[in-house]
Structure 1
Amino acid sequence: MSARTRRRRAIALAALAAALAVVAAFAVALWQPFHGGGHGRVVLTVPRGATLTDVARLLEARGVVADATLFSLRVRLAGAASAIEAGTYELRRNMSYGAAIAALRAGADTSVLRIVIPEGLSRREVARLLARRVRGDYLAASRSAPGFDPRNYGAPAGATLEGFLFPATYELRPGATAAQLVRRQLEAFRRAFASVDLAYARSKNLTPYDVLIIASMVEREARLARERPLIASVIYNRLRARMPLGIDATLRYALDNWTRPLRVSELNSPSPYNTRLRSGLPPGPIGNPGLASIRAAARPARTDFLYYVVKPGTCGEHAFSTNARDFERDVARYRAARERAGGRSPTRC
């Protein structure tokens, strides 16, 4: 055998060995023969209408599986795509693909009713979210509750529980009532609110109820966590300057309209929730804020900002300004970007 032939054979064998190594590595990554069953506890809800890709990405994002693409392939190879149903599952972190598939195939945990209530929603929105998931009328149950008096926080007589219904994930028994959920929300609120330092807010003559009102507006306005204290500072500064807050979310709350553009007649309405026309805080919270927004409302950033508007090309980031001239410049940029987008929001969410 010539030297050239031996060289070619060696190259071919090396290439084959490299290819076999790649195949072996892929097989190990796909089948995970040495992978354990995971650790810890992850409660995960698969929404209705979720595709296999959606589920795989959700599992990867929550740390349940290592790779969404490989998990999807394993599910297809197992013929289990149609077996994954919407519902709440109790899984573990860093599960093998096989273990995760088996857990999902076993079906959602029906022994526990898990209710996920996002931050900022109003009582009416939560009532719609809970349709047929709990027994009874949530809107009626959240009007008042035995043993909890909003007046203890500075609310006026007759105030509902709006603002006090703490948003979180609640585990209840199947068949739980709306009143039981409300009781759990109020207990969670008491614990969370007790951890908030109200000293700064009190120094500005604000009551705990005022802090909740501000927090509910912050929750609606802030898309980025770092902007919560900044938006709270604008509210404080405008209150001090006796300027209308100009937050349309307050009017949207009164109208129960969170999506349709506001009409001119609505923007000119004398509603006490119209903070374009009326100075001071609205009469009550416009939703139920989470702890981060409550803390921002209790201790805002120290700024001179009086205005903010969404920055074009961002996912809800705001441009803050201290004077009307800079604000109008930022508004002009936003409107120009909206025009270029054909009247659609010029954000990237």
Structure 2
Amino acid sequence: MLDPEHKPSAKREVAHRVKGYLAVLLAATVLIGGVYFVWNKTTDFITTFGEVPDYPGPGGEAVTVSLEEGSSLDQIGGDLKEADVIKSVEAWGKAVDTEPRASKIQAGKYRMQKQMKAIDALTLLVNPGDSRVRAQFQVKEGLRLSEQIDALAKGTKIDKKQFEAALKKPKELGLPGYAKNNPEGVLFPETYELVENADAKSVLKQMTAQYTKVTNGLDLEARAKAIGRSPYEVLIVASILDKEVRRAEDRPKAARVIYNRLEKDWALGLDSTVLYAVNSKSAVTTPEQRESKSPYNTYKKKGLPPGPISAPGKAAIEAALNPADGDWMYFVTVNLESGETKFVTTKAEFDQIVAEFQAWCQANPGTCK
């Protein structure tokens, strides 16, 4: 039994005091940590106060933005954000506040980039230069160069003589090296946007750049090598396909016929190359035309013609790179309206489908001229 007058020992009293000091120290540490956390967050808030979400620029993927007539600056900002040209309408508003010419932005189409800095997007719209789209123009597949120039003059409203002058300086047009300064077949058929300050040279460069983009996407050079052909030979075959057959399913078969005849050292005997040589838009050739001494006369000259006879589209180039499997040596389009084309192996079969075509021509007078 303890003596009521008994007091704790000195050791126990020291331990008790140490625990008290530790508790006070721990409480102080927690308090200081909390104060620091609050201070840090407050500092971050103060530092970022007034900032708005904005892309750093300069931008990436190309995009065309249409600004409607009568659009307010707020509406334009919303359109740009929706197209992912700018990150926020707040950043747009801040840029607008610094640019007194912002109210001068005109309605129309503009070639911009996604994820631009807001002030850069505004500057482009205020001073669009080549970024403003004046109009669209289309150049269809299978046109020869002279027909393309007619289509360009009509679609762009740029004088035909300017295109003809630009074509006389082919080294300035961005043609692939294998074209040897011949623009035939390399002005890619497509629907294009005509920018505000475009001229004949810039339009032609736009088309050759598209050709390069498409053929790079198709891996033209490597795939041509894989089938034992040069890129230019593939382009020539593709240009023939776009003139000889109309149905997509017939292109790879027609390509196979061409390659089969080349491998056997046969003359290709193609009306399309003769018609190119004599500058005719007829559907068939005459005996006189087939006597032409042009190197494009594949009835008289073996091998491929020296250059393309039209500007082929992507599908025709793909078919020339990936011909169908088959031993066909002949083909004839037996119905010019439907484009039905038949493929055969022997001369006797060829004579039969020629007769079928002639019968169709007789039943449809005036269509086979």
Task: State the TM-score bracket (shorter-chain normalisation).
Answer: 0.5 to 0.7
* Residues 152-191 of structure 1 aligned to structure 2 (within 5 Å): 152-153=177-178, 155=179, 157=180, 159-174=181-196, 176-191=198-213
Q: Which amino acid aligns with 2:147?
A: E
Q: 1:204 to 1:261 in 2, by over 3 A?
A: closer
1:255 to 278, 281, 300: 278
- The alignment's TM-score, normalised by the length of structure 1, stands at 0.62
Report whether the alignment pairs 1:324 with 2:324: no
- In structure 1, what is the Cα distance between the partners aligned to 2:173 and 2:204? 12
Residue 164 of structure 2 aligns with which residue? 139
Report whether the alignment pairs 1:279 with 2:302: yes
Question: 1:121 Cα shift?
Answer: 0.9
Identity %: 35
Question: 1:120 Cα shift?
Answer: 1.4
Q: Which amino acid aligns with 2:256?
A: S
Q: Give a deviation string over 1:105-133, Cα, whole Å, max 9, x none.
A: xxxxx962211000111110011223352
- In structure 1, what is the Cα distance between the partners aligned to 2:286 and 2:354? 19
* Residues 95-134 of structure 1 aligned to structure 2 (within 5 Å): 112-131=134-153, 133-134=157-158
**What SS is found at the alignment partner of 2:355?**
helix
Q: Which amino acid aligns with 2:184?
A: E
2:264 to 217, 241, 245: 241
- In structure 2, what is the Cα distance between the partners aligned to 1:335 and 1:223? 19
Question: 1:345 Cα shift?
Answer: 4.3
- In structure 2, what is the Cα distance between the partners aligned to 1:119 and 1:276? 25
Q: 1:309 to 1:323 in 2, by over 3 A?
A: same
**8 Å contact 2:166–2:201 — kept in the other structure?**
yes
Question: 1:174 Cα shift?
Answer: 4.6
**8 Å contact 1:197–1:295 — kept in the other structure?**
no
- In structure 2, what is the Cα distance between the partners aligned to 1:206 and 1:321? 24
Residue 319 of structure 2 aligns with which residue? 296
- In structure 2, what is the Cα distance between the partners aligned to 1:339 and 1:147? 46
**8 Å contact 1:201–1:299 — kept in the other structure?**
no
User: How many positions carry a matched residue from both structures?
Assistant: 237
**8 Å contact 2:238–2:320 — kept in the other structure?**
yes
Question: 1:200 Cα shift?
Answer: 5.0
**8 Å contact 2:185–2:311 — kept in the other structure?**
yes
Residue 222 of structure 1 aligns with which residue? 245
1:148 to 164, 174, 182: 174
**What SS is found at the alignment partner of 2:192?**
strand
Q: 1:320 to 1:163 in 2, by over 3 A?
A: same
**8 Å contact 1:218–1:232 — kept in the other structure?**
yes
Residue 69 of structure 2 aligns with which residue? none
- In structure 2, what is the Cα distance between the partners aligned to 1:119 and 1:139? 20
**8 Å contact 1:215–1:289 — kept in the other structure?**
yes
Question: 1:335 Cα shift?
Answer: 1.1
**8 Å contact 1:272–1:278 — kept in the other structure?**
yes
**8 Å contact 1:244–1:279 — kept in the other structure?**
yes
Residue 339 of structure 1 aligns with which residue? 362
Q: 1:238 to 1:139 in 2, by over 3 A?
A: farther
Q: Which amino acid aligns with 2:240?
A: M
- In structure 2, what is the Cα distance between the partners aligned to 1:299 and 1:325? 28
Q: Give a deviation string over 1:33-66, Cα, whole Å, max 9, x none.
A: xxxxxxxx9x9xxxxxxxxxxxxxxxxxxxxxxx
- In structure 2, what is the Cα distance between the partners aligned to 1:180 and 1:146? 10
Structure 1, unaligned stretches of length 5 or more? 1-40, 44-88, 91-109
Q: 1:336 to 1:208 in 2, by over 3 A?
A: same
**8 Å contact 2:135–2:193 — kept in the other structure?**
yes
Question: 1:344 Cα shift?
Answer: 3.6
- In structure 2, what is the Cα distance between the partners aligned to 1:201 and 1:131? 34
- In structure 2, what is the Cα distance between the partners aligned to 1:341 and 1:149? 43
The structure with the greater share of residues assigned to helix is 2
Q: Give a deviation string over 1:174-211, Cα, whole Å, max 9, x none.
A: 56211111111111111100122445532443110111
- In structure 2, what is the Cα distance between the partners aligned to 1:248 and 1:131? 28
Residue 201 of structure 1 aligns with which residue? 224
RMSD in angstroms over aligned alpha carbons? 2.7
**8 Å contact 1:138–1:178 — kept in the other structure?**
yes
**8 Å contact 2:329–2:345 — kept in the other structure?**
yes
Highest CA radius of gyration, 1 or 2? 2
